[in-house]
Chains A and B, each alone.
Chain A
Amino acid sequence: MTDKQIITTPISNEDISNLKIGDVIYLTGMLATCRDDGHRRVVESNRFPDFDLKGMSILHAGPIVKTIPGAGYEMISIGPTTSRRMEAYESEFIEKTGVKIVIGKGGMGAKTAAACKAFNALHCVFPGGCAVTAATEVEEIVGLEWADFGMPEAFWIMRVKNFGPLIVSIDTKGHNLFELNKIEFEKKKELALKNLLPHVHYSHG
């Protein structure tokens, strides 16, 4: 790919307001991991990480990190986790933190789409499972917070370069790629079943 569309943190509203669902972007700058426990802590307990998320991006991910004695941490493997698990909390999380890009895998629901529209944010997907590629796009782990959650759930702060491909799944207008796909999938499922069912009537006769 020749003309990679690169978004750099801190992210302004203008940087992302023209992006549409299905667009492919790459991220350069600061990215923090935050998943189930981190979302619960922010939303339910109103506790925030020291690292200010305003204009930044988060990744729904639980990485494998190696501790290098005396030299910090090395990112071994990091890939997105299922975003749908965070659906109940994400809209409030976006509102409270001012985060601009939420990255994960699979789609998110109507509540998150509404928050993306209201607060000018994006949900993007990184190709699930491509965790070594992602790790090689992490330049450095610059911080660790909430280590009490354990390795996968902790809040790892990373500097990344050309992190992607990221496919925009919810844009700042609130359009939702996965929801639209789902409608198509449902239609095709009904058709497929209609064709299939007459052929699987196995019985004693």
Chain B
Amino acid sequence: MPHKKLESIISSLLEVTAIKLPTDVYASLQKMRAEETQTLACELYSCIFDNLDKAELLHRPLCQDTGVLQFFIRAGAHFPHLDILEESIFTATKLATESVPLRHNTVECFTEKNTGNNTGKLSPWIEWEIIPGDDLHIDVYMAGGGCSLPGRSKVLMPLEGYEGVAKFVFDTIVDWGVNACPPLVVGVGIGTCAATAAILSKKALLRKVGSVNANPQAADMERMIKEGLDSIGIGPLGLTGTKSVQCVNIEFAGHHPATLAVGVTVGCWATRRGSIDISADLASYAITSHS
């Protein structure tokens, strides 16, 4: 029964993702805690880690907002269960909503009624990428409300340049990021239009905290924006501290010469993303995001 098998694999990924932080995010918070010197900020880091311990001990979602689920799929072109994957994701979402439990978040548009099981029209959101091979990789992201609020994208005039890009990032973080449970993971996308810049900024958020951009100029810009944001001292939960953000990740696509679009998507201290590799026969799988 491939249906049942896939559903249970995906729902176990959702369970881990809701209860534990991915290894990279946990390590980055530990580092920030160790480097923090201000009293209130230190106390807030203690609250965060106390909460993480309790979540694991009591086996409960570490934040009450388990988000609207977003799946980023990289499926091998020869993965044999492509036809049932979407349905399995929807069923797994319903199962995990009951069993973990996840908060009932998804509301249908216009009626604004909560569906009570975290599924609805195009919800969970699914992005597909087809890659060579026959196995399946899934990244899931729990898009909380507070951390989704700051997100935005804008098409700049090319002459506004990367200065305009940097300014847009700083304005977004200082205006709205403070309320999004910092220290934030900052995803920046650069492309042709508002939509591509936005999706790239989400993909940037899915990249590990501490990973270095393969493009040296992008890597430089990531580092410089991070240092600049840190010098503002937003601190944990926006109550001031010695640093501001966990990381700044930039993803980009070749763009139209007449536009330079920028998107910003942020994740909170509780950035919950889970990654899993599943074999073609569904006999083995590995959750790679959590240790």
| Complex: chain B residue closest to A198, CB-CB | B163
Q: Write the B122-154 contact mask toward A (1 if CB under 8 angstroms, else 0).
A: 000000000000000000000001100100000
B62–A129 touching, CB < 8 Å: yes
* A4 sits at the interface (CB 8 A): no
Q: Is the interface of A mostly helix, strand, loop or mixed?
A: mixed
Chain B residues whose CB sits within 8 angstroms of the CB of A106 once the complex forms? 146, 178-180, 238
Q: Write the A125-151 contact mask toward B (1 if CB under 8 angstroms, else 0).
A: 101111111111000000000000011
Binds B, one of A61-69, A91-99, A115-123: A61-69
A66–B101 touching, CB < 8 Å: yes
Q: Given A82-B146, A105-B146, A106-B178, decide whether A200 and B101 contact each other with a Cβ distance below 8 A.
A: no
Number of interface residues of B (CB under 8 A): 61
Q: In the complex, A192 Cα to B237 Cα: how many Å?
A: 21
> How many A-B Cβ pairs are below 8 Å?
177
Q: In the complex, A61 Cα to B40 Cα: how many Å?
A: 23
Could you tell me the distance in whole angstroms from the C-beta of A198 to the nearest C-beta in chain B? 9
* A160 sits at the interface (CB 8 A): no
Q: Is the interface of B mostly helix, strand, loop or mixed?
A: helix
B146–A81 touching, CB < 8 Å: yes
A203–B228 touching, CB < 8 Å: no
* A71 sits at the interface (CB 8 A): no
Pick the contact of B61 from A84, A131, A201 — CB < 8 Å?
A131
Chain A residues whose CB sits within 8 angstroms of the CB of B107 once the complex forms? 150
B237–A150 touching, CB < 8 Å: no
Not counting A130-B47, A151-B114, a sample of 16 additional A-B residue pairs whose C-beta atoms are within 8 angstroms of each other reads A64-B60, A76-B101, A77-B60, A106-B180, A128-B268, A129-B65, A131-B51, A132-B54, A152-B104, A167-B40, A177-B239, A178-B238, A181-B240, A182-B174, A201-B163, A202-B221
